[in-house]
Every structure is written in structure tokens, then in C-alpha cells.
Structure 1
């Protein structure tokens, strides 16, 4: 049953994701934290559910509760940078939460990268 569910969910994965993580990279005698690609061109689906309007100071901003759905076979750490290209070629950058794994898929809550300070 789980394999059939996995196969059915794969048909819904119309977007592609590139996932990067911070890792120590040695440059000469100095070690710096740099973004290193972990996965590329991964089939996925993004769902933007709740629209929240918030006011901060003089301007109002709009935030979404986003979720990324992808294969449970991938190990995506909390805080990974996730770049999603949708079916229309639009690219959006997110920061991912800790994944919630199920037998058929995993869900990662998303926050827009430019909102994370």
C-alpha cells in the first residue's frame, strides 16, 4: 500500500527543488560556513495555505504558511535553504523547518528566505 501511495503522490510533484545546507569549508587556514548543495532538481510540491496579513510599523506585509511535500527517502536537515522552481519557471527561495516524515512522503514547513533574519 505504501509503495502505491508513494507512486500516486509522485504524480503530484510538479515543482523542482534545490536544497543546500551550511557546512564548514576550509579556505587556506580559515574554516568558513558556506552553503553547499545537498540535492538538486528534486521533484516536489509546494502548498501555500494560510494567508496572514500582519502589520509591522508603518508597512503591512503578507506571509504564507507554506509546506513542501517530497519523497521520504531524502534527509533534509532543519534550516536548509530550499530553492523551488514552479511549473511556470518562477523561482522562490525558502528556509525549511524540521521535516515531518510519513511512510509515503515528508512535509517541511517553509518560510520565505528574505523573511528570516
Structure 2
């Protein structure tokens, strides 16, 4: 369930949307090596920090990476997302999202390699 922050006029869905916009920008620039789009989960870890979880599930296995956003930057990127109606990524979080996606790709690749090795043993 999404959390709405009335004083900032944003929600966790808006923060997730901003992360998705950055991921889509990365997809257009670099492409992904995995066949799909990562799941994005936003949770508040304390009064000042949001956890951003990027995950991808394949063949019953799940790869996961996390990054954090400070409250102020999370609200700013959410406002950027809503102001631009999702059409522009926020360059202030792009590099961290891109790095996390690269890490997720590596984990998925290792996961696929393990699945391939298991199939070879059969």
C-alpha cells in the first residue's frame, strides 16, 4: 500500500515512479540484459531514509539490490516525476539507479548461470 505524505504532497508511488523513469532512461541508453523490467518497492527505513528495492524474479529465483534515498531527495525526485508526468528522468538519482540496475543484471546473470549448471547436471 502506498503512503501519502501530505506536507510534501507526494507518495511512495511517486518515488517509485521516479525510479522507474530513471530505469526507463537507462533502458533506452544501455538496454537491459534481462528479459523484463525490475519490480520497484519503496519502504521508509527511518524518518530520514527511504529504501529502494529493485528485484527481478525468474524461474522461481529472485535477484535483489537496494539503494537508499534521503527523505529530502526522495521527495524532490517524486515532485520532478509528477511535474514532468513521468516523461523525464531525474538526473539527480539516475547514476545510483543505473549502478543498482547494473548490479541487478550481474546477479541475474549469476542466477541464470547457476540454473544452466543445474540443467547440465541432469
TM-score between the two structures when normalised by the length of structure 2:
0.27
Report which of the two has the higher share of strand. Answer: 1
Larger RCO of the pair (alpha carbons < 8 Å, separation 6+): 2
Structure with greater proportional helix content: 2
